[in-house]
């Protein structure tokens, strides 16, 4: 938990700096001020560093099969059927493992 607290403090410090006048002036000086389109896209994805750390820890709590299934199905858009063929297990087992993994992630990220 000590590492988490350090990351949390760094995140808060970084967030304060990003929203300070000094950082905005530096962005303008170097020509890095985002246009409206980029700013709208950036607002859609708003995960802080601490949220990413929590997500990483949650993903590490999954077993190898659960992690592989979640990664391939949700991130890689593979079908459960193709995953079951690759892992040589039934599609029902894949569904159960995916459901168990999602339940674990929900509980961990509450």
CA atoms within 13 A on the CB side of 47: 9
Classify burial at 44, counting beta carbons within 10 Å of its beta carbon; exposed 0-12, middle 13-18, buried 19 or more: exposed
How is residue 66 written in tokens?
């659960």
CA 40, 45, 49 angle in degrees (round to 5)?
135
pLDDT of residue 80: 92
pLDDT above 70: residue 89: yes
pLDDT above 80: residue 98: yes
How is residue 47 written in tokens?
């995960």
* Residue the block writes with tokens 């590490």: 60
Q: Hey, how many other C-beta atoms are within 10 angstroms of the C-beta on 10? A: 12
pTM: 0.56
Give the distance from CA 20 to its chain's centroid: 26
Mean pLDDT of 10-26: 63
């Amino acid at each position: 938990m000590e590492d988490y607290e350090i990351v949390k403090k760094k995140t808060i410090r970084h967030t304060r700096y990003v929203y300070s006048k000094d950082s905005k002036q530096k962005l303008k000086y170097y020509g890095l001020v985002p246009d409206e389109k980029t700013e709208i896209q950036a607002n859609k994805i708003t995960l802080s560093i601490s949220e990413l750390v929590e997500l990483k820890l949650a993903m590490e709590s999954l077993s190898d099969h659960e992690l592989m299934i979640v990664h391939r199905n949700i991130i890689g858009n593979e079908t459960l059927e193709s995953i079951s063929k690759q892992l040589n297990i039934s599609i029902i087992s894949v569904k159960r493992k995916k459901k168990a993994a999602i339940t674990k992630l929900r509980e961990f990220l509450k």
